[in-house]
Structure 1
Amino acid sequence: MNTIGTATVTSLRPVWREVLTASYRALENSVAEVGEDQWDDATPCSQWTVTQVIQHAAGDQLAYAKMLGIGTGPAYDPFSPSGTVDGTAAQLVKDAIEQTRAAWATVPDDTETVPTPLPHGDLPTPVAAVMCALDAAVHAWDIAIATGRPSPLDEELAGHLHAAAREIVEPLRQWGAYAPVVEAADAPSATPVADDLLRYLGRTPR
């Protein structure tokens, strides 16, 4: 099993279901607010359009659901999204979240570890759940910023997401899942937690 800080697991255990709920809401809301002429707009994920980010985010959620025993996973490679959606993007995301929400509902609160689609394999349940939430929330931010909407990340949610990210993200950079850390112009203690999270994930807060 991966070595994860006990303090992190303890801090996330009481809140991981709420973090998932908030992150799913952020993703669904961001997708719902995309304008008809914005699907091909550029995003902070520089190689992907709004539609491609949505496909990626939905695919990642389906991958988590499959690992937890629900569904068959995405029918496409989430890391090579086509930019074309059958049906609507909103329905694609809704279906993915419904499967993943149902999958997490099968996990008892006292479950120590669960499988994940990450290279880390099994992770402590609270950390795995918050990493799943992180994927939804950060792509909700990508979509919101790309379409001129306010950030969906509040300070409380960002704090929980950052706690899990600090334990997991570093090894993922070598596969290109996250860009290098963006250094802050101000001292870290002077910046909002959400900005710290975004910079840690290789994004420039706006």
Structure 2
Amino acid sequence: MEQLDAFDKALREFDTRVHEVGPRQWDAATPCTEWSVRDLVNHVTGEHLWAPWLLRGATLAEVGDRYDGDVLGDDPVRVWEGATADSRDAFHAAGALDGRVHVTGGRIAASEYGWQMISDLTVHAWDLARGIGADDRLDEDLVREVYDRIAPQVPNWQGSGMFAAPVEVPDDARTQDRLVGLLGRKP
């Protein structure tokens, strides 16, 4: 699957769930045990506010703390929509994924950053669906692509705090269940 196609699919998966959040669901729990629905959407929205800066070559210091804390304000859906419109434009800009970007761990290939964002959108779409009681089935091709890219990296992430320890799932489980289990979620 082409990277930008995967990005767009993952963005749609999360966006669909954001638009399904009911007025009384923002404080609901999610599989990310320390985050409510609002916290989860805030986290992903913040990442997409950062993306245009990083893809243009900004350093972490240049972005600073402008996206720390609550970025959602009084209209979380509207803020999400604005952040992702700018992020999508930045990812789709000619040559955006050809360079390198600054992230917490140093400079990495922009394409690697893109796959990190795709993975985050995909898994958090599942988390958000679970938090609001919506359909949690994700695009099978997207899930397979993300799983194939993440599975070899997971052993290196253990103990980093990025994800909980993997949850065992049956060998014959569908790819989506294997993906969320791999990232510490109980399917």
Question: Which bracket does the TM-score occupy, shorter chain normalised?
Answer: 0.7 to 0.9
**TM-aligned CA distance change 1:110 to 1:51, over 3 Å:** closer
Candidates 30, 41, 48, aligned match of 2:28: 41
The alignment status of 1:65 with 2:52, answered yes or no, reads: yes
Other structure's SS at 1:51 match: helix
SS at match of 1:115: strand
Amino acid at match of 2:181: R
Helix, strand or coil: the match of 1:150? coil
Matched residue, 1:91: 78
Check the 8 A contact 2:50/2:67 in 1, yes or no: no
- 2:57 touches 2:101 (CA, 8 Å); kept in 1? no
1:181 to partner: Cα distance: 0.8
For residue 124 of structure 2, what is the aligned residue in structure 1? 139
Q: Classify 1:73/1:161 alpha carbon distance in 2 versus 1 (closer, same or farther; 3 Å).
A: farther
2:17 and 2:80 mapped to 1: Cα distance? 11
Retained in 2: the 8 A contact 1:38–1:50? yes
- Unaligned stretches of 5+ in structure 2? none
Q: C-alpha distance in 1, partners of 2:25/2:166?
A: 28
Cα contact 2:11–2:121 (8 A) shared by 1: yes
Paired residues in the alignment total 183
SS in 2 for 1:178: coil
Please say if 1:51 is aligned against 2:38. yes
| Equivalent of residue 168 in structure 2, options 179, 183, 199 | 183
> By how many angstroms is 1:162 displaced?
1.4
Deviations 1:11-59 (A, max 9, x none): xxx5111100011111111011011111101110101110000000111
Percent identical among aligned pairs is: 26
Which residue in 2 is equivalent to 1:76? 67
Could you say what secondary structure the match of 1:44 adopts?
coil
Q: CA deviation at 1:145?
A: 0.6
Task: State how 1:98-137 maps to structure 2 within 5 Å.
Answer: 98-108=85-95, 111=98, 113-115=99-101, 117=103, 119=105, 121-123=107-109, 125=111, 127-137=112-122
Counterpart CA distance in 2 for 1:94 and 1:124 is 23
* Residue type at the aligned position of 2:130: I
Provide structure 1 residue ranges, at least 5 long, that are not aligned to the other structure. 1-13
CA 1:19/1:69 → structure 2, altered by over 3 Å: closer, same or farther? Answer: same
Q: Which residue of 2 aligns with 1:195?
A: 177
Q: Which amino acid aligns with 1:180?
A: A
> Would the aligned equivalents of 2:167 and 2:186 in 1 still touch at CA under 8 Å?
yes
* Alpha-carbon distance, 1:173 to partner: 4.0
TM-score scaled to structure 1, two decimals? 0.78
Deviations 1:155-200 (A, max 9, x none): 211011112223544444433121111111x22xx11111111111
Q: Distance in 2 between matches of 1:44 and 1:100?
A: 25
Label 1:48 to 1:200 Cα distance change in 2 as closer, same or farther (>3 A): same
Distance 1:170 1:203 in 2: 16
